[in-house]
A and B are shown apart, each in its own frame.
Chain A
Amino acid sequence: MRSRNLYVTRSDRALTLFLDGFLWFWTLVVAYPLVYVLSASLSSPQAVIGGKVWLLPVEPTLRAYQAVFRNKMILAGFANSTLYMVLGTAISLALTVFAAFPLSRRELAGRKALNALFLFTMIFSGGMIPTYLVVKDLGLRNTVWAVVLPSAFSVWNMIITRTYFQTNIPDELYEAAQLDGCSDFRFLRRVVLPLSGPILAVIGLYYAVGLWNGYFNALLYIDSQRLYPLQLVLRDILVLSNMDMSMMQDFSEMLRKQGLASLLKYAVIVVASLPVMLAYPFVQRFFVKGVMVGAMKG
């Protein structure tokens, strides 16, 4: 609410004006690529190649989206990615909470050592080939589990969650519950989790976005097209547009591929980022509260 009586100095006004301008400028810079991608996905591929699209769609058409939804590989990838995201997020959240809760309680024996052990894995890891061998020998290769298990647990997210528990669930509450004969599991379920909505939402989003955008596990461990996540399918389609020209032999083939790539490119980007973009506004309100509160006090 603006008060008329309040005296605003010239320099204040100048600063506000400058900040407003700067923020608007920055918003435009951030928003432009998004708008461009959306417009390009709705324009004819020829117009995009010819450089005629710069803000609004030119020769609007839905052909690209038709091609995307006709492409069985993309649809299968979409379904797989959704499965990996839902399943993986559930597993990751469970693991994170089960590690973070005990570590947030002071009376846990060997807590320091356990913490150190977790931290150790943030700095050192076995490396790609040993990990590959473990996954292979456990018989996980070429299964859904190879995508969701190897990177199910993030120490970083666990530390954030632990700090949140430490600062927001007072020990007194735990003692009171114990006096009333409440078990640890019951305390976790009835007291801790209901009080930790924000952090669960935030961590869950971290995991979900990571799984949705991830392709590396699938790249290493998946051999069958039926298990390919969306990102891997997209990668293969999008790189077609910057082919190695010295390998090129056949022009009708090249035109066909460039046509496919330029037709699908932008529509596919929109389709692939839509789920995450839709989820964001619902989780966003927890964001500042969730992560920052934990971080500041810890």
Chain B
Amino acid sequence: MTKRILALVLALAAAASGAFAQKAEWLSKQPMPVSKEKVAFKIFVPQRPEIEDITRNWFTSWYEAKTNVHVDWQLAPNETSALRQKLNLVIAAGDLPDAFLMANIDANLETRYGVDEGLFLPLNELIDKHMPNLKAYLAKNPGVRGMMTAIDGKIYGLPNVNECYHCGLSQKMWINKAWLDKLGLKAPTTTEEFYQVLKAFKEKDPNGNGKRDEIALMGCTDSWQSYVDSFLMCSFVLDTGMQYSFGNTEVRMYYDAKTGKVMSIYDRPEYKEGLKYLRRLYAEGLIYSGSFTQKQDQFKQIIAAEPGVVGAFPNGASVVVLDPVAQSALYRQYVALAPLKGPAGLRQSPYYYDGVAGINRLVISKSCKDPVALVKWADAMYSHEIQQYRAWGELGKSWRWAAAGEKGLDGKDAIWANLVPYSADPQSLNWQQLGIEFQSAENRFGQATKQGVDLYSAEGLETMLMKATKELYEPYAGKSQLIVPKALRFSTAEADEIQTLLVELNRYAVDRKMAYVMGGADIDKEWASYVKKLNDLGLQKFLAIQQKAYDRQFGKK
């Protein structure tokens, strides 16, 4: 009955907008209800602050009525370390729920609990037999299956899909357009031009307060993609920056598409050239000296200082640093800058193609009595239709299908429109980010958006990021040098070995980098011994393990 009404509504809406074909594709292929008898599952889930009470939420009851599946929620804290603690405890005590949702089960835990201890249920067959929606998505996105696969070739977790277009090319630089205009400069396109611009910023008092208080370029250590060196290094050799190393130690690597080799940047001659370029900027005072040590809080405060003292800063988005409402005037000064062409002609931005799918969003435990019903329950969430109900709520109340003439974020016909006004309070209308997300690009771009919106206002944020990404970064998405996906799986022995090597390598490489840039050592004199020391510390061994893991997971079989 519900289905019929839904179909009717859909037909009406589709007739109105003339986009029926698109919407038919939006419907779930999973027959409902998933079970004739009412079934109950115990699911472990972190408690989300944006949801008032999961047991009394509109979507909870709607979905229960629709699927005939009742969920007993076993709540865990949302904060990462506490969540991990409770997860480990529940598993160690043998007190397994039927499934873990959003339990932050990373590749290492998957290997330990799934592969080594056999506590998780392999899902390969269940996906093929009972999950038509997910199957359709995997058929369209062949790379995702590889990311879901554990080291033993089995799949233990269902993915979370969030195709955030601008996050795929998040290594962005923001440059002060007001200063460029004032000094009559164009946006730089090469590393040499960038150097000239920074020099002008530093010397010509672009903020006009008569003081030489300008900081040409500044980064920090823990914001989003804001290492001061990564964006510039990409003009020499691919530096994937901090997308995958937030707060962690790392060895910066890339995958060479021509040779099929996993490489470290640390021992490349191109890296040496890059460091010399950074040294030149630093020696002339163009890079703020605190960039290698300061945290996001200080970074934000310096950028926020009136009347604006920073010429350029790297970040995934300027909104992370400046508030488009409260700091509107400053926020408007910064525009995205395309990747720069290096001396050898390289002009690239790392494309984080694996960001679309998070791993192990839902993991089913060995003790689940009716896994078929549970995967069916999960499968419906891999359709746009259920997704709209899950993320937004009731049709007609929280969202509606788009009317004729409404346009989406990308300027094409919109598919749906939001009816809930912005609020920071916890709510009971929908699940927001709880559950399995299926935010595909169609879904994101299909949201009706005010056209011709002011790009540098809060409403224009998504449009501005999309345009910047499309026009300035997508043309330069790295092709010869690729990222190494973060979902690489290692055996327990390999993981242990990597961990030991990683700490030493990271410490030495970072220490030398700072010395070469800040002038504590001469890179030309030291280079040979530096590379030798890296190898002594096990760089090649480290890369060999990575290579093995990469080939195992993504290599052609």
Contacts and interface: CB of A to CB of B under 8 A. Distances in A.
A254 B326 CA distance: 16
B82 A129 contact: no
Interface string A37-64: 0000000001001110000000000000
A101 to B, nearest CB: 36
Given A46-B326, A129-B89, A223 B462 contact: no
Contacts of A225: 47, 53-55, 75
Contacts of B425: 67, 70-71, 260
A268 to B, nearest CB: 11
Contacts of A46: 323, 325-326
Interface in A209-240: 219-220, 222-226, 228, 232-233, 235-237, 239-240
A251 B319 contact: yes
B462 A251 contact: yes
A245 B85 CA distance: 21
Contact of A255 (B52, B76, B300, B319): B319
A67 B424 contact: yes
Nearest to B243: A246
A259 interface: yes
A73 B426 contact: yes
A215 B30 CA distance: 41
Contacts of A226: 53
Given A46-B323, A71-B426, A249 B164 contact: yes
Contacts of B82: 219, 235
Contacts of B61: none
A49 B73 CA distance: 36
A51 B327 CA distance: 12
B315 to A, nearest CB: 9
Given A50-B327, A71-B425, A225-B54, A136 B93 contact: yes
A226 B52 CA distance: 10
Contacts of A12: none
A256 B424 contact: yes
A133 B94 CA distance: 9
- Decide if the interface of chain B is mainly helix, strand, loop or mixed: loop
B304 A251 contact: no
Given A72-B426, A220-B86, A235-B79, A245 B49 contact: no
A219 B317 CA distance: 35
Contact of A51 (B54, B222, B304, B465): B304
Contacts of B162: 249-250
A179 B316 CA distance: 83
B267 interface: no
Contact of B73 (A223, A236, A237, A254): A223
Interface in B36-53: 47-50, 52-53
Contacts of B326: 46, 49-50
B47 A129 contact: no
A190 B54 CA distance: 51
B499 interface: no
Contacts, number: 125
B177 to A, nearest CB: 20
A30 to B, nearest CB: 23
B375 to A, nearest CB: 23
B304 to A, nearest CB: 6
A128 interface: yes
Given A236-B47, A245-B246, A219 B85 contact: yes
Contact of A244 (B80, B167, B304, B462): B80
Given A136-B93, A251-B465, A223 B242 contact: no
Given A236-B79, A246-B242, A73 B49 contact: yes
B77 A257 contact: no
B249 to A, nearest CB: 14
B52 A72 contact: yes
Contact of B95 (A73, A136, A245, A259): A136
A70 B223 CA distance: 32
A263 B49 CA distance: 14
A67 B244 CA distance: 35
A225 B74 CA distance: 9
A253 interface: yes
A252 B439 CA distance: 14
Candidate in A51, A246, A259 with the most chain B CB atoms within 10 angstroms? A246
A49 B77 contact: no
A132 interface: yes
Nearest to B226: A245
Contacts of A133: 93
A7 to B, nearest CB: 53
A123 interface: no
A128 B164 contact: no
Contact of A236 (B77, B247, B461): B77
Given A129-B89, A246-B246, A251 B47 contact: no
Contacts of B304: 50-51
Contacts of A222: 75
Given A129-B89, A256-B424, A240 B49 contact: yes
B333 interface: no
Nearest to A227: B75
B74 A223 contact: yes
A8 interface: no
B80 A51 contact: no
B230 to A, nearest CB: 13
Nearest to A256: B424
A116 interface: no
B50 A257 contact: yes
Nearest to A72: B52
B433 interface: yes
Contacts of B78: 236, 239
A248 interface: yes
A233 B76 CA distance: 11
Contacts of A233: 49
Nearest to A71: B426
Contacts of A129: 89, 92-93
Contacts of B93: 129, 132-133, 136
B16 interface: no
A129 to B, nearest CB: 5
Nearest to A263: B424
B224 interface: yes
Q: For the complex of A and B, list the 7 residue pairs with the smallest distance between their C-beta atoms, beginning with the closest.
A: A46-B326, A245-B224, A260-B424, A246-B246, A239-B79, A223-B74, A249-B164
Interface of B: 47-50, 52-55, 73-80, 82, 85-86, 89, 92-93, 95, 162, 164, 167, 222-225, 242-247, 300-301, 304, 316-317, 319-320, 323, 325-327, 355, 422, 424-426, 432-433, 439, 458, 461-462, 465
Interface of A: 46, 49-51, 67, 70-73, 128-129, 132-133, 136, 219-220, 222-226, 228, 232-233, 235-237, 239-240, 244-246, 248-257, 259-260, 263
Given A51-B304, A223-B75, A232-B77, 9 more contacts: A46-B323, A132-B93, A220-B86, A222-B75, A250-B439, A252-B461, A255-B458, A257-B49, A260-B424
10 contacts: A72-B426, A129-B92, A225-B53, A233-B49, A245-B320, A248-B167, A250-B162, A250-B439, A253-B432, A257-B49
